[in-house]
Amino acid sequence: MPPSAFNFNRTMLCSGPGTFYRGAEKIYSSSGINAELDPVTQKLPSDLVGDLDTIKTDQRARISVTNTGHITPGILTLLYPWRNPLASIGKGIFGTADIPAWIHSTAGKKVTFKNTALVQPPPLILSRTKTAFGTAEFWGLIDLLGDTAAGLHKIETAPYPPADLPLLTALGLTGALYVATWNNFTLGGTKNGWEISFEPEFEDVTCDELGTIDRIFAGMAVIAKCQPLGWDESKIFDNSPIATGLGMSIVKETPLNIASATGLDVTLYNAALITTPMQWGKTTIRAGELAFAAHINSEGKLYDVKLAS
């Protein structure tokens, strides 16, 4: 085969970073943006010849991105919803109008997913030496037009960078000194800082003619973990729920607040200490990793995330 018949060379490579947008908010990634097109398929079997065909039975897109270099109140609102679960339980997370998300690449292409929603808030890492955000995940589903053959996306040519590209900064991402307070005392000195995880629950709504059309919000668990360096056996036992009577509440009607003057301010309302391990060894710290769980307070609030004031 002559070289000219191969029809490929290095100038045809497609690569490079991009910026993630949803609505009015934009996220600059720390480790790439991944979009997985996830068609659900079903084989049509035959006893005589094996599989006759494969058909598509559903479709979704999964977009994951880790924020860096840009924190605004709008981004925190986008990434950390359902702070008051009473307002959201039983409702579809995709809403009554299609909200698109798109990835704008430095190569000058814009890939838009027509109808999107956040399905996994990113974990928060509140530390002096680690960056603040883990990975967020968004889903793209069929839009209100309901054409399953049209795909979930559109592709456009658009020059990059946008005119409103801000100056990226590490402010609020790292270097912040966090102090935690709970149950009338301060939790100072941790091995690795704090990690806050968010575990939403959904029930998918599927339609025979359209596939998955929405996800119903059913609730969310918010858990904060740290390994304290200054807790001895007495402090662990004094705060452990192990001494609570069976059938009695372990919830403290007091928030766990983890805040920094230069970073984020995170609150878990009605926080209960749910795990209190201890360990002994030549080089091990006595207290293991503590875990606190948020519970809805009298105002219906589960948690809050905001920029330090």
* 142 touches 152 (CB < 8 A): yes
Give the residue, 215 or 166, on which the prediction is more confident.
215
Domain locations along the chain? 3-44+52-307
Q: pTM above the 0.75 mark?
A: yes
DSSP-based helix, strand, coil % in the chain, nearest 5: 10, 45, 50
Q: What's the pLDDT tens digit per position in 119-138?
A: 999 999 999 888 889 999 99
- Residue 304 pairs in a beta bridge with 267
The contacts of residue 1 (CB under 8 Å, 6+ apart) are none
Q: What's the pLDDT tens digit per position in 179-205?
A: 999 988 888 788 999 999 999 999 999
